[in-house]
Amino acid sequence: MKTTDNQRAAALKIYATTIQNCQRMQPKFAPGTAQATLLVNRIAALQVVSALVSGQVPSLAQMKTSVAPIQSIIHKTTVARAKYAPETAMYRRLTPMIAAMTLGLAALHTALAQPKLTKELLPMIEHQTLSLDAAVEGETYDHCRLTVSQHELKLAGVTFINCQFEQTDFRGGEWLDCTIKGSQFLNADFAESVMYRCQFSGCQLMGADFTRSVWHQVTVTDCQASYLILAESKLKGVSFQETQLTESSFQAVKLLKPGLTVAGGELTGADFTGTPLKFVNLSKSRFDSLLFTPSLLRGLKLNQWQAATIAASLGIDVVD
């Protein structure tokens, strides 16, 4: 990304102002809280990009840990700006901030892409105990113990690998662009939560309750999800792959195209009562029986053996 002297000067001015604003906010939050940690990380990242744009060369560790906070600033500022029309003063005020942070992020990526710096860009937090509130966008948490959130749960762009969640009540939480691998959520309560572009892999979801939740572009792979509850939820582009869904509940679900696909795994006893099955593809799943509303079967995709099972449950004799 080529930049001019004027662009760099404008960016440096914004970094300095933003650092000062963050420092003024620090006394408002107790050390160790999520807000305090966020400000510390943000100030450090801004100092790193300021040095980099000024022609200095920060350490590899400093640059790696600065990527996520700068990405977070860009994301949150872009979301905030989207609420205003382009001709408004607030829109014009936020635009230079986005430009400056984008310039700084590009500088980080360029520096980290040098031949000698081929390691992973994003920081990884390993074997630590921390509050779920302290999870930062863009970071990866590996084998961490996450204590109970004290605030409304909103997570974006976070990866959890083999983490232990002490919390079981996730009601009303928002999970955006998150990846969760190898974690246990036995009987956890996710009712009325929102999940966009999330992935569960190798997780224990048995009995997890997602009643009245919203799932868009969610993939669940190689998980144990028997007795999973998605009743009265809204699903769009949801895929279960090699996941056990025995006696799971999909009652009264609203499906939006491309709907729901189940490939592999066991689905016997799953309950689709009250759910229109037009956008459901079960052709690569396994089941001996399903619960459903006969008048809502239209459009359901099945293979020939499954079709015979459904026909038999309706009292239809299939003959050669």
What CATH number is associated with residue 275? 2.160.20.80
Question: In the structure encoding, which two tokens stand for residue 254, read together?
Answer: 């609203």
> How many angstroms separate the CA atoms of 166 and 148, rounded?
6
| Domain co-membership, 261 together with 150 | yes
pLDDT of residue 104: 94
Q: Tell whether 119 is covered by a domain.
A: no
Q: Which of 112, 140, 159 is the last residue of a domain?
A: 112
pLDDT of residue 1: 60
Q: Which domain holds residue 142?
A: 124-313
For tokens 């809204």, the residue is: 234
Residue 173 buriedness (CB in 10 A; 0-12 / 13-18 / 19+): buried
- Neighbouring CB atoms inside 10 A of 246's CB total 17
| Domain co-membership, 180 together with 260 | yes
Full DSSP string of 164-203: EE---B-TT-EEES-EEES-B-TT-B-TT-EEES-EEES-
| Domain co-membership, 139 together with 107 | no
| Domain co-membership, 130 together with 75 | no
- Expressed in angstroms, the distance from the first to the final Cα of the chain is 67
**256: three-class secondary structure by DSSP:** strand
Question: In the structure encoding, which two tokens stand for residue 127, read together?
Answer: 């074997």
Tell me which amino acid residue 74 is: I
> How many angstroms separate the CA atoms of 305 and 283, rounded?
9
Alpha carbon 165 to chain centroid distance?
16
pLDDT of residue 115: 59
| Domain co-membership, 211 together with 76 | no
| Contact criterion met (CB below 8 Å) for 286 and 242 | no
- Alpha helices per DSSP H over 82-231: 89-112
| Domain co-membership, 106 together with 216 | no
pLDDT of residue 202: 97
pLDDT of residue 118: 42
| Contact criterion met (CB below 8 Å) for 166 and 183 | no
Q: Which of 112, 135, 163 is the last residue of a domain?
A: 112
| Domain co-membership, 150 together with 16 | no
Digit-by-digit pLDDT tens for the chain (320 residues) are 678 899 999 999 999 999 999 999 999 988 878 788 889 999 999 999 999 999 888 877 788 889 989 999 999 999 999 999 999 999 999 999 999 999 999 999 888 877 555 444 445 788 989 889 888 877 889 999 999 988 889 898 899 999 999 999 999 999 999 999 999 999 999 999 999 999 999 999 999 999 999 999 999 999 999 999 999 999 999 999 999 999 999 999 999 999 999 999 999 999 999 999 999 999 999 999 999 999 999 999 999 999 999 999 998 877 76
Q: Categorise residue 215: left if φ over 0, alpha if ψ from -120 to 50, beta otherwise.
A: beta
| Residues with Cβ within 8 Å of residue 9, at least 6 apart in sequence | none
Q: What is the pTM of this model?
A: 0.65
Q: Tell whether 319 is covered by a domain.
A: no
Q: Which of 112, 133, 159 is the last residue of a domain?
A: 112
